Amino acid sequence: MLLWIFLVGFAAANEEFSSQQNSTRHAQYRGSQVLRVRNATESIRNLLKSLEGEKAIEIWKQSNVFGKFTDILVPSFTLSFVRQQFENLNATFRVMIADVESAMHEQIAIAPRKQSKNKNKNKKSRSYNLTFQRYHRISDIYGYLDYLVSTFPSICSIETIGTTIQGRQIKVIKISGSNAKFSFYIEGGIHAREWVSPASVAYIVRELVEYRSKNSFAENADYYVSPVANPDGYEFTHTNTRLWRKNRRDSDKSCPGVDLNRNYGYQWGGLGASRQSCDETFAGGNSFSEPESQAVRDFLTKIGPSVQAYVAFHSYGQYILYPFGYDKVLAPDSADLQKLGAKIAKNIRKSSKKKYKVGNSAILLYEASGGADDWAKGGVGIKYTYTIELRDAGRFGFLLPASQIEATGKEAFIAIKTITQEIAGIKRKKKSRF
């Protein structure tokens, strides 16, 4: 009894401690808002650029297309100034998140678990902590991969493909198909703050392994899955700065971090990539200067030409993007990528009613060079290369509530299933459901 009281007391104190930690950490965003501004004119676009340069705003999501929107985070101390600037230019904007700090608190709330049909199943003690009801630290994600390898050793194995600057492992789980005709590389979490990406990639892994019997299409491929491509950055968003994007390279102490999705060696250092270490899109000192991008380069080079599909999951915006991103340049087979992308979007729409836009990333969003996807397509020659921006379309942005993890994971899984079926030449039965 005493032990029980102690344990309950300890758990409550612990929870209180971590919620206090969250409060202090998120307090830096007190009074900040997220605004959606219409890019109606060149002068509005220039204003956004200069406000970003002065650190008066942070860009969350941008589009170079006139008439589309840019989402910005405005800290409390610049809010009235920034709003005034927009009013001066007659810029149309609306408030997406009125209180960023409380949206952060809401995001980490635990979503109610769906009632399981088999009640005993929930009671069974498990040797891992991962759920899809909340966002987890990397130890829980890796703990789940370890559990799968020990429980399903005939199909799962883990390779550590590299080590980060702070000494964390970059892990890939291999899920082998009994009739594998090709390999499929799946990447999550290259951008630290896009929490729904590692969560959705873990969801895909669960489908491919634990629910394999209802996903027999998976026998056609060997999957190599890296749920957290930027471990240092991801942990930093949990312990320090929720909206951190880059890795934690600290050669410039006052402005740490390299944007790993600008560090790959295909058309490195061109449009949409910065040479300034303080910028969110800092490309690094050279192409492949970072251990995280080197690890993926070396691993993909090693597994070689069997890889026919590469999907990088990001958030947010609900886009299915294909190369190239360094400029408005299409690959010779871009019609195939558009066609399959449209199929993915259609299947997602059928399943969850959510709309995903499909297109070339430089045309649909903006030019950005040094991306992992461009290197996968242009450097390695992987035909079906996509970057998928998961939920949502802007309501919560990076602060997507945990209650949407399962539904988002399902959409990500539909993408993987649709691509596998296409490459393996599996015709979908008319009635089959995702």
Query: Which among 175-183, 289-297, 306-314, 413-421 is the span making contact with Zn ion, rule CB under 5 A?
Result: 306-314
Distance of alpha carbon 322 from alpha carbon 331, whole angstroms: 9
Hey, is 420 helix, strand or coil?
helix
Residue 291 vs 378, nearer CB to ligand 0X9: 378
355: its two tokens = 């709309």
Radius of gyration of the chain (CA): 22
Binding residues for ligand 0X9, per CB under 6 A? 61, 191, 194, 261, 314, 321, 325, 361, 368, 371, 373-374, 387, 389
Distance of alpha carbon 236 from alpha carbon 221, whole angstroms: 34
DSSP state of 429: P
* In the complex, minimum distance from the CB of residue 325 to ligand 0X9, in angstroms, rounded to a whole number: 2
**Which of Zn ion, ligand 0X9, none lies near 321, with the C-beta cut-off 5 to 8 A by kind?**
ligand 0X9
* In the complex, minimum distance from the CB of residue 194 to ligand 0X9, in angstroms, rounded to a whole number: 6
* In the complex, minimum distance from the CB of residue 368 to ligand 0X9, in angstroms, rounded to a whole number: 3
Cβ of 12: how many Cβ atoms within 10 Å? 10
Query: Which among 209-217, 227-235, 250-258, 313-321 is the span making contact with Zn ion, rule CB under 5 A?
Result: 313-321
* In the complex, minimum distance from the CB of residue 355 to ligand 0X9, in angstroms, rounded to a whole number: 18
- Total residues contacting Zn ion by CB under 5 A comes to 2
Among the listed residues 149, 166, 161, 252, the one whose alpha carbon sits nearest the alpha carbon of residue 209: 149
Distance of alpha carbon 314 from alpha carbon 333, whole angstroms: 23
* In the complex, minimum distance from the CB of residue 103 to ligand 0X9, in angstroms, rounded to a whole number: 18
Cβ of 10: how many Cβ atoms within 10 Å? 10
**Which of Zn ion, ligand 0X9, none lies near 387, with the C-beta cut-off 5 to 8 A by kind?**
ligand 0X9
Residue 149 vs 329, nearer CB to ligand 0X9: 329
Q: Side chain identity at 411, as an amino acid letter?
A: E
**Which of ligand 0X9, Zn ion, none lies near 207, with the C-beta cut-off 5 to 8 A by kind?**
none
Cβ of 159: how many Cβ atoms within 10 Å? 16
Residue 168 vs 314, nearer CB to Zn ion: 314
334: its two tokens = 């871009």
Listed in sequence order, the residues at least 6 apart from 233 whose beta carbon sits closer than 8 Å to its beta carbon are: 191, 192, 244, 245, 246, 247, 248, 257, 260
Is 389 noted as a catalytic residue in this protein? yes
Residue 60 vs 184, nearer CB to ligand 0X9: 60
Among the listed residues 345, 296, 288, 291, the one whose alpha carbon sits nearest the alpha carbon of residue 319: 345
* In the complex, minimum distance from the CB of residue 128 to Zn ion, in angstroms, rounded to a whole number: 26
List the catalytic residue out of 194, 389, 411, 422. Answer: 389
Distance of alpha carbon 387 from alpha carbon 423, whole angstroms: 18
Q: Which residue is it, tokens 């909206």?
A: 243
**Which of ligand 0X9, Zn ion, none lies near 205, with the C-beta cut-off 5 to 8 A by kind?**
none
Hey, is 73 helix, strand or coil?
strand
**Which of ligand 0X9, Zn ion, none lies near 325, with the C-beta cut-off 5 to 8 A by kind?**
ligand 0X9
Among 168, 242, 262, 314, binds Zn ion (CB under 5 A): 314
Residue facing ligand 0X9 at closest CB distance: 325
Footprint of Zn ion on 186-205 (CB under 5 A): 191
Hey, is 72 helix, strand or coil?
strand
Tell the burial category of 359 from Cβ atoms under 10 Å away from its Cβ (0-12, 13-18, 19+): middle
110: its two tokens = 């635990």
Distance of alpha carbon 367 from alpha carbon 11, whole angstroms: 48
* In the complex, minimum distance from the CB of residue 90 to ligand 0X9, in angstroms, rounded to a whole number: 27
Residue 191 vs 246, nearer CB to Zn ion: 191
**Which of ligand 0X9, Zn ion, none lies near 233, with the C-beta cut-off 5 to 8 A by kind?**
none
Residue 131 vs 197, nearer CB to ligand 0X9: 197
**Which of Zn ion, ligand 0X9, none lies near 373, with the C-beta cut-off 5 to 8 A by kind?**
ligand 0X9
Contacting positions for Zn ion (CB under 5 A) = 191, 314
Residues designated as active site: 389
